[in-house]
Structure formats: structure tokens, C-alpha cells
Amino acid sequence: MAGKILIVDDVATNRIMLKVKLSAARYDTVQAWTGAEVLRQIAQEAPDLLLLDMHLPDIDGIALCRQIKAHPSTATLPVIVLSATPAPEDRLAALRAGADDFMAKPVDESILMARLRSLLRARETEQDLRVGEAACRDWGLAEPSSHFAPAARVAVIAPDRDTASRWTDALARDLPNDRVESLSASDALGQTATQAPDAYVIATDRTQPGDGLRLMSELRSRAQSRNSVICIAPARSDSDTVVMALDMGADDVLPIDVTQPSQTQEAALRLSMQLERKRTRDRKRSFVADGLRLAMTDPLTGLHNRRYALQRLGSLADQARTSGQGFALMALDLDRFKEVNDTFGHAAGDTVLTDVAQRLRNCLREQDLLARFGGEEFLIALPETSLPQAEAIASAICRAIEATPFALPADAGNVAVTISVGVTTSDGTDPVSAVLDAADQALMRSKREGRNRVTTASCDNAA
């Protein structure tokens, strides 16, 4: 099924009519007719969306919406309020209570279905982000982010300068904490290369019919503006335009008639709600991105960690096998590093490891893989590199580590450190485990033969 919809109406005929329409579109439906029954059905059936009549026997629909949105477990449940006697003040009250939309009865079926599709897509995206966020929290991979919300930047793209000025002034009055400005379509596309606005309000017909929707598609296709809020302001309120806008990815459709204050207030309310959702999504994306970064990164040195390195080696082997260009692998280990920790303490050892990581970075190319493999062990993979080239790089690394003693913290002086390296190469046909073993065996020979040196081995004769 496409999703589970809870239909709430105290008139059985209305519930049955909505059930027939939704079932034809392959939605699963459950029904309720009182506020108490709504809360029971939400807990029992876990619906994906709520169609809520404004007038119920035991509670006002707007009050029930406010109650649902105030509870943490149901705050993100989409709610569409329906009313047979819609009034501008009711629309505003429903939106202020957290309703995702307000529709007049009899409901335009095509608009209702488009709105359902839009809200359920957004809900699925938010649920995916919550799963990723929960996983990062469970793994302890990211710190809680700040909930500070800077002023949002809202770009108005209207058919002409006069309309743009009137829309901008009207929205700015009702969004006093945000920055509302007018942009041309070309400027909007140009700014996606730098810093895109947080939200766009786009007229559907600017120069030609439908060019606002085409602009929205362009903005959705670009990385910088893909996650911006995009609201469409139709020149006419026909259902085809609204349906097309929602199905093409508009976050909302705004009524903007500056001669009617209730309409500009409603537009501002809808924009505020979408901006708050964007802030929440952005925080979750940032949290998950930080968690993924920590999952791949050694916290002390900032290098990739063992988990990431092993996965990347598999990709390098596939790439080498496909391109015919082999790769080199180095296993590196600091010599007698335990003595540094025992003599100067672990804080000094951590300082040395951090500085070693930086010297290693300085010896490598951007495309090379550098990872801390554990303790004082490092691993380097060099794509499209021959054995002689890898030997030369390894020798340069030994010189870079040995050349300058490492400064210790708290003015404790300096300590000389050297490094041993084992090098091997592969054409991608060898198992990654065999390549790692060859590099490790070469490293062990460097240690046995006096340390601070480079030794090579092939996968065939590593043993």
C-alpha cells in the first residue's frame, strides 16, 4: 500500500467517500469520529497521515491538531485539516496549530491526492534522516548540534519588478526575523554555485506559462539548492497548476494576494513552517554527516581509520584490475615508540603521532590513501604507482620522519623518531588480504634488519 491514512470525521458518509477515493489509489485507511478515538487509533495503527475534520463531537479539530503536534511521538505526523465552512481565520488558526494544510469541503480530489503524495514523500525523507541520526547516537559517533537558528534568506522570483517588490514587502512584514529579497531567475541559478537561499518563492508564470516550474526543476537538480525550500505562487488557482507543482517537488503552494492580508499571513505561516522543517532536516543531515566522518576517521590524527582503509583498498583493487594500472601498498610502523610513551608519557606520544601524521600527509599526493591502522601503525596506498616509485616515496618518508626531532608538549624538549616501511604492489588480481600480508611481511623484515629502512616484497614471496 502507498501509506496508511487515518480519516477523521463525525459523519459516516464523509468517511466512506474518502475511504473509497483513497483505497482506489492504494492507500490503506483507518477511521475515527471522535478526538478520543483519534488518539487511540494513532497509538494502535501508527498512521502515516491524518485527514482531520475541523468539527468533532468531543473536541475542536484545531485543538486536537495542536495536541497532536505538541506531543514528541506525534509531532511529525502530517495533518490536513478539512472544513465545510472555511474562513480565513480558521485557515490561519489551523496552520498556527501545526497543520500541514487546510482544505475546504468538498475537497478537490486531484489536489488532495497530490498533497498526500507530497507530504508522504517528505515524511519518508525525514524518517530516513531520523534512522541515520539514531544510529549515530547509538554508536556515539557525533555530538549534539546547536539548535541556534540564524535568520533565513528567502528569495522572491516574481513575474515583474512591481510584483516582486509588493510580494517582498508583504512577506518581510510577516517574517520580521528573516531576510526577504527579490531575485531574477538568472541570479537565482547563478547563486547556486555559491550560497543558495534557504527558500525560494517562485511565480509559476514569469515570462511564459510554466517557466516557474521549469526553474524549480533546475534548482532541485543542483547540489547547492537541492535542499532549499521551494514554494510556488501560482498566477491562477487552478487545480492542474497546484497538482503539477506538488508532484514536481514544490514544498508548498502559496496564496499571495497583497490586497488580502490574510493571504500574505498564510503564505508567511506556510513559509515559516517549511523553514523550520528545513532547519530540522539540515541539523539531522549535519549530524549524520559528522557521524559518518567520525566512523571513517581516527579521532587523534584526523587520518582515515582501519575500517575505512580496508574498504577503500577493495575499491583500489577493483580500479587497478579494470584500468590495468597497479597500486602500491605501504605498511609503516614507528620504531621503538613504546619508549616515547614510557619515558615522556602518553600525552607526548599523542603529540608525536599527530605530527607524524602531518609529515606523512606532506609526502603524499591528494589521491593517495593514508590511514592510521592502529597504535603507531600506518597504512598508505598509492594508486597507479610502480614498485620503484613507491620505494622512492617510502625513502622520502623515512627521511622526513628522521630529519627533524619532534617537539614535546609543555616545553619538555624534543625526541628523535624513525619509521620502518614495508612496500608491495598489486595489479588488483590478488586478494586484499594477500597484499596486506605482503606489505606487513616486508615491514617485519625492515624491523629485523635494523629499522628506519624500506623493504619490499611481492604477494608471491611474502612468506
- Of 414, 284, 122, give the one whose Cα is nearest residue 292: 284
Confidence (pLDDT) at 145: 54
Dihedral-angle region of residue 374 (phi above 0 means left; psi in -120 to 50 means alpha; beta otherwise): left
> How confident is the model at residue 296, as a pLDDT?
85
Question: What per-residue confidence (pLDDT) applies to 352?
Answer: 96
Q: Considering only residues 331 and 296, tell me which one the structure prediction assigns the higher pLDDT.
A: 331
Tell me the per-residue pLDDT of 373-429, one tens digit each, with 9 for 90 and over.
Answer: 999 999 999 999 999 999 999 999 999 999 999 999 988 899 999 999 999 999 999
Q: What is the pLDDT of residue 150?
A: 80
- Average pLDDT in the 310-330 region? 93
Question: Would you state the pLDDT for residue 412?
Answer: 83
The pLDDT value recorded for residue 223 is: 87
Query: Is pLDDT at 461 greater than 60 in this prediction?
Result: no
Cα distances (angstroms) measured from residue 176 to each of 152, 158, 161, 231 = 10, 20, 22, 19
Long-range pairs for 345-353: beta carbons < 8 A, 24 or more residues apart: 347/409, 348/408, 348/409, 348/412, 348/415, 350/300, 351/406, 351/407, 351/408, 351/409, 352/406, 352/408, 352/415, 352/417, 353/300, 353/301
Give catalytic residues, as residue numbers: 376
pLDDT surpasses 60 at 197:
yes
Q: What is the mean pLDDT of the segment spanning 27-41?
A: 96
d(CA 180, CA 161): 14
Under a CB-based contact definition with an 8 Å cutoff, are residues 45 and 77 in contact? no
| Alpha-helix runs per DSSP H in 324-460 | 337-344, 346-362, 387-403, 432-448
At residue 373, the 3 state secondary structure works out as strand
- Between 218 and 296, the more confident residue is 218
Query: So what's the pLDDT on residue 116?
Result: 96
**pTM check: above 0.85:** no
Residues in CB range of 99: below 8 A, 6 or more apart: 52, 62, 65, 79, 80, 81
- Please compute the mean of the pLDDT values over residues 49-67 and round it to a whole number: 96
Output DSSP code: residue 150.
P
Q: Summarize pLDDT for 211-255 with one digit per residue, the tens.
A: 899 999 999 999 899 999 999 998 776 788 899 999 999 999 998
Is the pLDDT at 370 greater than 60? The verdict is yes
Set of cell numbers at residue 81: 485539516
What cell numbers appear for 70 in the block?
A: 505538541
Alpha helices in 151-260 (DSSP H): 161-174, 185-191, 211-221, 239-247
> Higher-confidence residue: 129 or 283?
283
Strand partners, 304: 297, 371
Instruction: Evaluate the CA torsion angle 248, 244, 192, 278 in order and state its sign.
Output: negative
Q: What is the pLDDT of residue 410?
A: 84
- Residue 74: what pLDDT? 95
The phi, psi pair for 172, rounded to 5°, reads -60, -35
* Length, in residues, of the chain: 463
b/e for 11-46, b at 16 or more Cβ within 10 A?
eeebbebbbebbeeeebebbbbbebebbbebbeeee
CA distance 7 to 14: 9
> Which pLDDT does position 84 carry in this prediction?
92
pLDDT of residue 462: 45
* Whole-number average pLDDT of the chain: 90
Radius of gyration over alpha carbons of the chain, in Å?
31
Omega before 383 within 30 of 0, i.e. cis: no
Using DSSP bridges, classify how beta strands 327-334 and 377-383 pair: parallel, antiparallel or unpaired: antiparallel
d(CA 171, CA 166): 9
Find the mean pLDDT for residues 135-163.
Answer: 73
Q: Which three cell numbers stand for residue 275?
A: 523553514
Can you read off the three cell numbers belonging to residue 197?
Answer: 537561499
Model pLDDT, residue 287? 72
Q: Tell me how many degrees the CA angle 322-325-326 measures, rounded to the nearest 5.
A: 105
Predicted local distance difference test score (pLDDT) of residue 463: 41
- Provide, rounded to the nearest whole percent, the portion of the chain with pLDDT above 70: 92
